Amino acid sequence: MSKHVRSSHEIRIPLPIGQAFMLFTPAGEELWVDGWNPTYLHPHDGATTRGMVFTTGAGPDHTIWYMADFDRASYFSRYVRTTPGIRTGAVEVQCRPEGDDATVVRVSYDLVALSEEGERSLQAFEGDAYAAMIESWRSAIEARMEELAGADIR
């Protein structure tokens, strides 16, 4: 039986919910994730919408993404992602306001290994390693707050 991991972690982002939520779209992540360079397949302009398809990475890290849900009104998105031969699963982002100028972002990964290599790779999505990964996202966003404050994200 393949290894399965389900992990969640919350971070606080010092931005209003509408802006914070959009930072966790493919185009939004281009603003704060070093090396994040999606190739947009549908729609080609990278507009965030349910049903969008894009890829990231190269070689063994090549990952295919499908946006299964995107609800701006409830600040929720769900991505289905597959790194062929390694792992597959879903990523969920749920935001909730904390006052007018801050947002709590819950990021959940639900992954299944597709190989022994995939089983080893899932260690990064468990326990303290997972929490540290998501906390590094908060740090990366906070380091770019001035740039992000006026960003118009599609």
CA 29 to CA 3: how far, in whole Å?
28
Take residue 27 and report the two structure tokens written for it. 């185009």
pLDDT (tens digit per residue) in 53-109: 999 999 999 999 999 999 999 999 999 999 999 999 999 999 999 999 999 999 999
Per-domain boundaries in the chain = 4-147
CA 90 to CA 6: how far, in whole Å?
9
| Confidence at residue 1, expressed as pLDDT on a 0 to 100 scale | 65
- Tell me if residue 94 falls in helix, strand or coil: strand
Whether the CB-CB separation of 82 and 88 falls below 8 Å is answered with yes
| Confidence at residue 147, expressed as pLDDT on a 0 to 100 scale | 79
* pTM greater than 0.85 (yes/no): yes
Whether the CB-CB separation of 81 and 88 falls below 8 Å is answered with yes
Amino acid at 90: A
> Residues of the chain with pLDDT > 90: what percent?
90
| Confidence at residue 139, expressed as pLDDT on a 0 to 100 scale | 96
Q: Is the pLDDT of residue 154 over 70?
A: no
pLDDT (tens digit per residue) in 11-26: 999 999 999 999 999 9
Whether the CB-CB separation of 109 and 6 falls below 8 Å is answered with yes
pLDDT (tens digit per residue) in 108-152: 999 999 999 999 999 999 999 999 999 999 999 999 988 777 676
Q: Is the pLDDT of residue 37 over 80?
A: yes
Q: Which CATH number does the domain 4-147 belong to among 3.30.70.1280, 3.30.470.20, 3.30.530.20, 3.40.109.10?
A: 3.30.530.20
